[in-house]
A and B are shown apart, each in its own frame.
Chain A
Amino acid sequence: MQALDGLKIVEFGGYAAGPHIGKMLANFGALVVHVESFARPDGFRLQYPPYKDGKPDINGSGCFAFYNDSKFGVTVDVKNPEGLRLAKRLTDWSDIVIENMRPGVMARLGLGYDALKRSNPDLIMLSTCNMGQTGPRADTPGFGSQLTALAGMCGLTGERDGPPMLLYGPYIDFIASTLGAAAVLAALEKRSRTGQGSYLDVSQYECGLMFLAGPLLEYHTSGKLAERSGNDDPQAAPHGAWPCRDGGWLALSCWCDAEFARLCGAIGMPALAADLSLATLAGRRSRKEVVDEAISNWSKQHDAKEAAETLQSAGIHAHPVNDMADLFTDTQLAARRQWRRRPHPVLGNHAYCMPAFELPEMPGEVTLAAPLLGAHNDKVFREYLGLTEAEYTQAQAAGAFA
């Protein structure tokens, strides 16, 4: 038995912000149907690599697969009257509808919350977009990687005197999807208690700000402006990343004077521990170069993993800077079964990522590889929605699954 067995979710939209919500819930047992069409497949299928052997293929995007495992994939042309009728049958059948179109698009299609709840009164619906459904800039189209700049994270990454930095992808989308998953589960709790559905308006921008709530309050209270500061931290010194012999990097930090003394012992620099000018946090911060150089001299003689193990044995905060390949060999992630390999018809045997929480009594699972486009039309509409042979054939002939 899984925690969310019996919960039915239908997704309209694509890319990351909507589908990642359904993916997490699917890993814990929800039955999730991802709706696309041949005319408008999920943008991750064709616009984002990696593809198997580097060759673009509508069914071979690793990026799409990463956010759509454990789901059923259907194609419904909602601009076709018969397709729209099927889309409504899907939403009538579901407990939760998740969409990440631009504001107003679902309503124009006839799939807005007000329309859907007429035939499914206790429906929970979540809409997620850049700015939220209301406000002067509600209609702003946007990519998550750029929204991460508007929400402050890019400006807070980089050296003090250097430019802002990218955080690789649409960082903020995943804040909003994680918080969105919490919101639909809270709405489910409300429905269990009151019998009422909910409409959830999630602004990806606002969700992102929850991750900077402290610096924002600090500004409102004192006027102090949070700024990028490399890898420094006001409460720890040393605090940063140092190069290692194997080309890797070692992150480490010392949060009290005693931890610094242990570090000096572990890296064979007792003279530093005896240096009174470095005995306090303020002293170490003001003579950062001296401490940095001593650590660097030591780290360059060791591989990152070995260095981290040595320091952890001495009671010091330390970890190698894992790159993407390292994540697949990290012993701790392996012990938690963070990655689950499943055979995919195009991508072959490849890895899916589990959410960061586990329920040992009702474990999460990757139940299915990501769906090929329209792979489950037959199963979803016949088996789950109960279309008769005649109804299914008629819908097909009318172009509903195009």
Chain B
Amino acid sequence: MLQGVKVLDCTERLGWLAGRLLADMGAEVLRIEAPDTDVSTSDWRALNVNKHLLRVDCASHPAELDRLAGGADILIATPHPGHDASRLYDFARLSRLNPRLIVTAITPFGLAGPKAQWLASDIELMAAGGAMSLAGEPDGKPLRVSAPQSYAWAGAQAAVGALTALAARHRTGRGQLVDVSAQAAVITALAHAPTFADILSVTPQRAGSYMTGRSVTGAKFRVFWPCRDGHINFILYGGVAGRRTNEQLVAWMREGGFDLGPLAAIDWTKFDPTRATQAEVDAMEAKMALFFHSLAKREFLEGAHRREMLGYPVSTVADIATDPQLQARGFWHDLPAPGGRIERQCGAFVVVDGARPPLADPMQQAERSPAFGRRA
């Protein structure tokens, strides 16, 4: 979809995903790396696949950056506000060289403001954006996701911002600055949690591994259930969706010869989790726990799908790698890698007109540098 759009990607780790998303939608992305940068890590390879790589030290050769910026539509950078070296990516300067250029600056906190020069890695960004305050046990310490997420949130918002500016350029003929804050990007992840503080002056607490706040009695409901090879995510919901799921769960347990205990007598058309007491919930869950413990994750995934139940296993990357749904949709792309290896990459995130845009073969990418990166 972005065929002919030329992107110059000068980002550090914070911004890698932005260029990957644009590349996956057809943009010609030139990835700038200093000659000594390690490009062998999985993170680098996964988030910079589908881009052309050009080794140049822009700090020592600013004229080279200017030449490339002169032919680009979008430049993405992760400048450090207040640092001399970051003047290279100054919008006013670049705009004089190429008035059509869209400069997308991704920074931890934004280009201006009292914390613009603060240092932040993933954990500080997940803290600053509120995500850590919602993850972890309610009486334990706040947690981040063990694989960095804030960089991806920032990169995704940057892609939307850059393309918003690109749409505007059709009318104005001019590029503009896009100022992306990673802290603000993390707020996207919080769902509507901030509204409780704003509207009710209630501060949502860490969710832990139980569902709370659904019962007038204060009962908590188990979310994660140990199973034969890990955990399952299953919740006793009420309403229409819960009714079908709960009925099917009981049918499944009955077929397996499991003791239903109090579950046998419940009329699911009338079951209301908001009124259940903790003792009632515990008695139901004790029987459910034995059933879930007998299942493997894949068995639950397939059975729950067949029975149209809500609930999913808690996947590891190994489970995801072998999920038949992803294979059927052609999500994985195998690409040749250095040393004759094959690299299995996540494919483009969107299917367009029934086809997933293919990732470019990195070997051919190396041989064919993009038109706007070619030396005069």
Interface residues of A (CB under 8 A from B): 3-7, 16, 24-25, 28, 47-52, 54, 62-63, 65-67, 131-138, 140-143, 146-147, 149-159, 162-171, 173-175, 178-183, 185-190, 192-193, 198-203, 205-207, 209-221, 225-233, 236, 239-241, 243, 249, 251-253, 255, 312, 315-328, 330-333, 335-336, 338-339, 347, 350-351, 353-362
- With both beta carbons as reference points, the residue of chain B lying nearest to A228 in the complex is identified as B146
- With both beta carbons as reference points, the residue of chain B lying nearest to A243 in the complex is identified as B141
Task: Report the bound CA distance from A159 to B146 in whole Å.
Answer: 9
A sample of 5 more A-B contacts (CB under 8 A), given A147-B312, A351-B195, is A156-B146, A218-B317, A319-B127, A332-B115, A356-B185
- With both beta carbons as reference points, the residue of chain B lying nearest to A338 in the complex is identified as B184
- Chain B nearest CB, measured from A53 CB (Å): 8
- Chain A nearest CB, measured from B51 CB (Å): 13
Complex interface: chain A residues within 8 A of B165 (CB): 3, 359
Q: Does B53 contact A (CB under 8 A)?
A: no
Task: Report the bound CA distance from A161 to B315 in whole Å.
Answer: 16
Residues of B in contact, count (CB < 8 Å): 144
Q: Which of A132, A190, A203, A317 contacts B124 (CB 8 A)?
A: A317
- Chain B nearest CB, measured from A321 CB (Å): 4
- Chain A nearest CB, measured from B75 CB (Å): 15
Is A168 within 8 A of B191, CB to CB?
Answer: yes
Task: Report the bound CA distance from A228 to B4 in whole Å.
Answer: 41
Is A182 within 8 A of B156, CB to CB?
Answer: yes
Contact with A along B104-142 (1 / 0, CB 8 A): 100001101111101111111111111111111100011
Q: Which of A216, A326, A332 contacts B109 (CB 8 A)?
A: A332
Known A182-B21, A233-B123, A317-B124: A325·B325 in contact at CB below 8 Å: no
- Chain A nearest CB, measured from B112 CB (Å): 7
- With both beta carbons as reference points, the residue of chain A lying nearest to B226 in the complex is identified as A163
Q: Which of B21, B116, B130, B318 contacts A179 (CB 8 A)?
A: B21
Task: Report the bound CA distance from A360 to B164 in whole Å.
Answer: 13
- With both beta carbons as reference points, the residue of chain A lying nearest to B91 in the complex is identified as A360
Is A225 within 8 A of B157, CB to CB?
Answer: no
Is A220 within 8 A of B325, CB to CB?
Answer: no
Is B352 within 8 A of A185, CB to CB?
Answer: no
- With both beta carbons as reference points, the residue of chain B lying nearest to A168 in the complex is identified as B134
Binding stretch for chain A, among B29-37, B60-68, B175-183, B250-258:
B175-183
Q: Does B59 contact A (CB under 8 A)?
A: no
Is B329 within 8 A of A251, CB to CB?
Answer: no
Complex interface: chain A residues within 8 A of B153 (CB): 178, 211, 356
Q: Which of A221, A226, A249, A323 contacts B146 (CB 8 A)?
A: A226
Known A174-B191, A178-B157: A324·B133 in contact at CB below 8 Å: yes
Is A152 within 8 A of B163, CB to CB?
Answer: no
Q: Which of B121, B128, B142, B352 contacts A200 (CB 8 A)?
A: B352
Binding stretch for chain A, among B201-209, B265-273, B281-289, B363-371:
B201-209
Is A183 within 8 A of B233, CB to CB?
Answer: no
Is B193 within 8 A of A324, CB to CB?
Answer: yes
Q: Which of B160, B194, B195 contacts A355 (CB 8 A)?
A: B160
Jot down 7 A-B pairs with beta carbons below 8 A, ordered by A: A157-B146, A178-B160, A182-B160, A219-B318, A221-B344, A229-B146, A324-B190
Q: Which of B301-359 contact A (CB under 8 A)?
A: 301, 305, 308, 310-318, 320-321, 324-326, 328-329, 331-332, 341, 343-347, 349-354
Is B180 within 8 A of A356, CB to CB?
Answer: yes
- Chain B nearest CB, measured from A362 CB (Å): 6
Complex interface: chain B residues within 8 A of A233 (CB): 122-123
- With both beta carbons as reference points, the residue of chain A lying nearest to B223 in the complex is identified as A166
Task: Report the bound CA distance from A159 to B184 in whole Å.
Answer: 26
